[in-house]
A and B are shown apart, each in its own frame.
Chain A
Amino acid sequence: MSQLKRAVTEADHHQGPLDASIVLVEYGDYECPYCGEEYPELKAVQKEFGDKMCFVFRNFPLTQAHPHAERAAEFAEAAATVGKFWEMHDVLYEHQQALDDQSLIQYAQRLGLNGALIDSALDDKYLDRIRKDFSGGVRSGVNGTPCIFINNVRYNGERDARTLIDLLNEIR
């Protein structure tokens, strides 16, 4: 039973209160098709539980398999510096088929990120943070994406919204 080795903190990208009775951490890759499938499922779960749940996203890009994954994560991190992480996160998962640099720049512009911020995303400024997410994930037993932890314990079951909602209703 793999445990989350790096505790969830204020520094994590999170939606919902950190002290919620349900804390769900996803290790994800913006170019991973399974993460793309999981995206609407987790949205539905969040909708169901609202503020009773805290959703955390950590980066786990498989850069050799997914050539745009790391750059996409860098754009999400750049957006985070102006409080727009989740907007960018959603745009990325809703446009998984177009994650080349040109597209990423367009998404950033649409969200109002300025030129300097876009440059910072293209300039490896956020790679350290992304690598830290990745290392923490590996240490916690993340073996692929998406990988979900519920209240610090890795979840290996079915990942559809219905199953997750039923499970979370039992434990909260």
Chain B
Amino acid sequence: MATEKKSRPHAKPITRAQKKHEDELLDEALDETFPASDPLPVDPGTEKVSDAPVIAKTGSPAPVFALKATPDQTVSLDQLKGKPIVLVFYPADWSPVCGDQVSLYNEMLSEFEEYSAQIVGISVDGPWCHVAFAKDRKLRFPLLSDFEPKGDVARRYGIYDAKTGTSQRALFVIDADGIVRWKYVSPVGINPGAEGILDALDKFAKKERP
């Protein structure tokens, strides 16, 4: 294999700027190549995604995703675009704080609607688990499964916790054009509430009825 190694032209380490550029190109390529309803393609052979420290930056386009909301329904960023999006990453269905957190947001759907904002939860739990959890908590907003490859979207948003194998507890507010406008990573045991989300929406989203 020595000959092959020798022949690789890009063996030298890439700079951070190059890497950033590559990441952006990847996002663009994903956007163009894959229609919204298709699952997010990830080559298990590439380390690109997990290598990236923080991709989702305030002021930058939100990393694309397409995840199962139920065993036979997929929700993608492209589908959600056009209205403000509140992305709620949480570690796990059923854990006490997550329960409180999603229950709180569940009570606030009318307030999010005032901004035309859509809220979606994301965890590494599988779609069947989400279905049971959503039914138990009477949730009226979608929970997406970042399940296969596990935590891939959380990694793309820079909030995957490899030690626990779950995402961190993090909030992203994305505008109608898909630009990240606000992000917040909460201590994992603390329910971050909704104050920050509403403040962020206030800054760019127009309330339909004041």
Q: Report which A residues bind B (CB closer than 8 A).
A: 2, 61-65, 134-135, 138-144
User: Does the CB pair A64–B138 fall under 8 Å?
Assistant: yes
Chain A residues, CB < 8 A from B198 = 138-139
User: Does the CB pair A64–B100 fall under 8 Å?
Assistant: no
Chain B residues, CB < 8 A from A141 = 193, 195
User: Does the CB pair B191–A144 fall under 8 Å?
Assistant: yes
State the interface size on chain B (CB cutoff 8 A). 18
User: Does the CB pair A138–B191 fall under 8 Å?
Assistant: no
Say whether B132 faces chain A, with CB atoms less than 8 Å apart. Answer: no
- B 92-126 binary contact with A (CB < 8 Å = 1; else 0): 00000000110110111001000000000000000
- State A141–B186 Cα separation when bound (angstroms): 13
**With A64-B138, A64-B140, A65-B137 as given contacts, are A143 and B103 in contact (CB-CB < 8 Å)?**
no
**With A62-B103, A65-B103 as given contacts, are A142 and B193 in contact (CB-CB < 8 Å)?**
yes
Q: Is the interface of A mostly helix, strand, loop or mixed?
A: loop
**With A135-B111, A138-B111 as given contacts, are A64 and B195 in contact (CB-CB < 8 Å)?**
no
User: Does the CB pair B106–A143 fall under 8 Å?
Assistant: no
Chain B residues, CB < 8 A from A135 = 111
Question: What would 7 A/B residue contacts be, using CB atoms closer than 8 Å?
Answer: A2-B193, A61-B107, A64-B107, A134-B107, A138-B111, A138-B193, A143-B100
- State A50–B139 Cα separation when bound (angstroms): 42
User: Does the CB pair B195–A138 fall under 8 Å?
Assistant: yes
- State A140–B104 Cα separation when bound (angstroms): 14
Say whether B39 faces chain A, with CB atoms less than 8 Å apart. Answer: no
Chain A residues, CB < 8 A from B107 = 61-64, 134
- State A134–B103 Cα separation when bound (angstroms): 13
Most chain-B Cβ atoms within 10 A of its Cβ — which of A2, A138, A141? A138
- B 149-184 binary contact with A (CB < 8 Å = 1; else 0): 000000000000000000000000000000000000
Complex interface residues of chain B between 173 and 210 (CB less than 8 A to chain A)? 191-195, 198
Given contacts A62-B103, A62-B104, A140-B195, 15 further A-B contacts (CB under 8 A): A2-B193, A61-B107, A63-B107, A64-B103, A64-B107, A64-B137, A64-B140, A65-B137, A65-B138, A138-B198, A139-B195, A141-B193, A143-B101, A143-B104, A143-B191
A116, chain B: closest CB distance, angstroms? 29
**In the complex, residue of chain B having the shortest beta-carbon distance to the beta carbon of A34:** B100
A138 contact from B106, B137, B194, Cβ within 8 A: B194
- State A61–B108 Cα separation when bound (angstroms): 11
User: Does the CB pair B195–A144 fall under 8 Å?
Assistant: no
- State A140–B199 Cα separation when bound (angstroms): 11
Chain A residues, CB < 8 A from B139 = 64
Complex interface residues of chain B between 17 and 41 (CB less than 8 A to chain A)? none
B201, chain A: closest CB distance, angstroms? 12
- State A134–B192 Cα separation when bound (angstroms): 16
- State A39–B193 Cα separation when bound (angstroms): 23
Chain B residues, CB < 8 A from A144 = 100, 103-104, 191
- State A142–B104 Cα separation when bound (angstroms): 9
**In the complex, residue of chain A having the shortest beta-carbon distance to the beta carbon of B101:** A143
Chain B residues, CB < 8 A from A65 = 103, 106, 137-138
In the A-B complex, the 7 residue pairs with the closest CB atoms: A143-B193, A143-B191, A64-B138, A141-B195, A144-B100, A65-B103, A138-B194
